[in-house]
Amino acid sequence: MDDVKRNNEENLSMDEIFESMDDFSMRRGSTKEAEVYSIQPDGLLVLFDGKLDGFVPESELVHPLGKYGIGDKIKVTILKVNEEEGRSTASEIRVYRKEALKEVESKFRKNEPVKGRIISKVSSGYEVKLLNVVDAFLPGSHSGLKLDDEIPEETLDFKVINFRRSKRGAPRIVVSLKELKDLRIKSFLDSIKEGYVVTGVVESLKKFGAFVKLTNDVTGLIPASEVSWDSSVRIEKVLKPGDKVEAKVIGIDKENQKISLSLKQLRKDPWQDIEERFPVGSVHKGKVKSIVPFGFFVAIEDGIEGLVHISEVFWGNARKKLQEVVKVGDEVLVKVKEINKEKRTLSLSYREALGDPWDNIESKYPVGKVVEGKVAKLLPTGVIVELEEYVSGFVPLSEISWNFVDKVEDVVKEGDTVSALIVSVDRENRRMRLSLKKATEDPWKKVSEDLSVGDYVSGEIVRTIKSGAIVLVDGYEIEAFLPVSQVSDKKVENIDETVEVGQKHQFKIIRLVYDPENDTRNMVVSIRQYLKDLEKKEAEEAMKELSSDDNPTLSLGDKIKEQLKNSENAPSE
């Protein structure tokens, strides 16, 4: 029926509409129910008892114009009546304000929240509209807002903390956001206990932890140490703003309204049964996490990290740097040496996980075996040869070469691959004695078979020393000693003035010793004796020629004189 009336009146002209109002009278101050007939730019046209008779200006509406629809029912108060035009002006807000004021007072008495919005910022606080129509004041200290915070646009719950009526004007109403917030926070904190699991959204990340929003009023903190059992895991690798997370409540400070949370405690503590899962003596694979001057740390599981002390890295007195053995990120085998569950520390061994190479050293490197190795270090007293990692042997100076060794570097250099004979093995003290020269055939054996004292040999001066020179004997690759006294018939003060390195000479062997049982081998040679023998031989040959001369009447002395005379008269070349 209402729709029919409305449709009929929509077809009326404005004159006909005003005529229809002539017989209808309105009283100022009366309260009527009205129906929205038309939405105008500056207010609403409304129907009273089905007849068009009123206008509600926008300033007298409870809600913005956009909130109203045609057909909506509202209560209004008649402000004035224009009898000439047959039209009245009405106000919705004045009816609603009375009711809203009663509701606000009731909420104050009952200590209940009331809806409202912050309208603007004023001195020392904010202007608030409760239920859209009741003016109230929000002190800054009760707002919970910072000076540079933006004013919230949404409808909020306020607590009325003061309601004082005035005889002459509107009542003075003071509200608080903070008290309600404190009540909500208290209620939330009272509803949880340590050990509870709560859900929230990550608001922000800091170096010290993550802030998680649990309610609109309550934010908890997950300390960085409570993100993972693995202390090396960085918080940003696990969480990011906006993530929804579950966390365990590990601390509640009601006085300061703070909650501490933990992610890692939702999972089993890996140290809880550490002794059962990683017993002392067991070997496990792990990852090198960091290298420090005194060793390196290895993670064998998330949250389980132990130290390999430098004393547990090498077998023997290795002089390598830790960085030459492992690098961060390497997967390595380690053996559990010690567990301290209370301090959450593990002592690990890298070397024992690899195994002690000296355990079966005698079977792997028996005495008399010739092996290959790498020259690791040159010393004034000999050479260190590495046979494998952590297994090295010492070659004394006397065992480097069958020949005399003045400087080790003249024979071998660091990094050279050499063959060596194992002379002795001391497993208990981790020592091995090697011989480079005995890994090859003894050249002195052939010398002793082929040569004797008095024999002549040729050779090259390879170096000089204060007391003589060293000669490399041709065909045998052994070194003989040429004393300075055996260089010439004349007295030699400085051998370098008589012979030069690289010169080839003939020599006479004046001493030869080959005593392998006492490890004695040497040869002494002489240029002087060789030259004497040569002169003697030449003299004997000359005498032999003279004695066979065709003039038998001359004595041997006369023949020599004649020969000398002939040589003097012979033309010089």
Q: Would you kindly state where each structural domain of the chain is located, as residue ranges?
A: 2-91, 96-182, 192-266, 274-354, 361-439, 443-573
Band (19; pLDDT cuts 50, 70, 90): very low
Tokens of 117: 């919005």
Eight-class DSSP state of 573: -
pLDDT for the residue numbered 559: 55
- 531 SS3 class: helix
pLDDT for the residue numbered 293: 92
Instruction: Tell me what the mean pLDDT of segment 96-108 comes to.
Output: 90
Count H helices, E strands: the chain?
A: 11, 30
Which of 252, 251, 226 lies closest to 239 in space, CA to CA?
226
pLDDT for the residue numbered 504: 94
The torsion region of residue 316 among left (phi > 0), alpha (psi -120 to 50) and beta comes to: left
d(C-alpha 368, C-alpha 386), whole Å: 17
d(C-alpha 315, C-alpha 429), whole Å: 12
443-573: CATH topology is OB fold (Dihydrolipoamide Acetyltransferase, E2P) (2.40.50)
Tokens of 489: 């018939």
d(C-alpha 331, C-alpha 282), whole Å: 17
pLDDT for the residue numbered 316: 73
Strand partners, 378: 383
Same fold flag, 274-354 and 443-573: yes
β-strand pairing of 468-473 with 479-483: antiparallel
Give the containing element (helix H, strand E) for 209. strand 209-213
Better-predicted residue by pLDDT, 528 or 542: 528
| Cα end-to-end distance, the chain, whole Å | 165
Pick 192-266's CATH classification: 2.40.50.140, 3.30.470.20, 3.20.20.70, 3.30.870.10. 2.40.50.140
Which of 450, 380, 431 lies closest to 409 in space, CA to CA?
380
228-232, 327-331, 471-475, 516-520: which has the minimum mean pLDDT? Answer: 228-232
Better-predicted residue by pLDDT, 303 or 316: 303
Task: Please state, as a whole number, how many other Cβ atoms lie within 10 Å of the Cβ of residue 399.
Answer: 22
pLDDT tens column, 146-191 = 888 899 989 999 999 999 987 777 789 999 999 988 888 999 999 9
pLDDT tens column, 50-68 = 677 789 999 889 888 989 9
361-439 has CATH 2.40.50.140 classification: yes
Name every residue whose Cβ is closer than 8 Å to that of residue 533 and which is 6 or more positions away in sequence. 456, 508
96-182: CATH topology is OB fold (Dihydrolipoamide Acetyltransferase, E2P) (2.40.50)
2-91: CATH topology is OB fold (Dihydrolipoamide Acetyltransferase, E2P) (2.40.50)
pLDDT tens column, 116-148 = 999 999 989 999 999 988 999 999 999 988 888
pLDDT for the residue numbered 474: 94
Report DSSP letters for 361-383, one per residue: HHHHS-TT-EEEEEEEEEETTEE
Q: What are phi and psi of 516, to 5 degrees?
A: -60, -30
219-228, 315-324, 451-460: which has the minimum mean pLDDT? Answer: 315-324
Length reported for the chain: 573
pLDDT at 9 over 60: no
Tokens of 262: 């933990």
d(C-alpha 127, C-alpha 94), whole Å: 19
Q: Using alpha carbons, list the distances in angstroms from residue 136 to 7, 118, 153, 218, 573.
A: 44, 9, 16, 26, 144
Band (394; pLDDT cuts 50, 70, 90): very high
The amino acid occupying position 309 is: H
pTM for the structure as a whole: 0.51
Strand partners, 130: 116, 134
pLDDT tens column, 247-283 = 999 999 998 989 999 999 998 888 888 999 999 999 9
Task: Please state, as a whole number, how many other Cβ atoms lie within 10 Å of the Cβ of residue 95.
Answer: 20
274-354 has CATH 3.65.10.10 classification: no
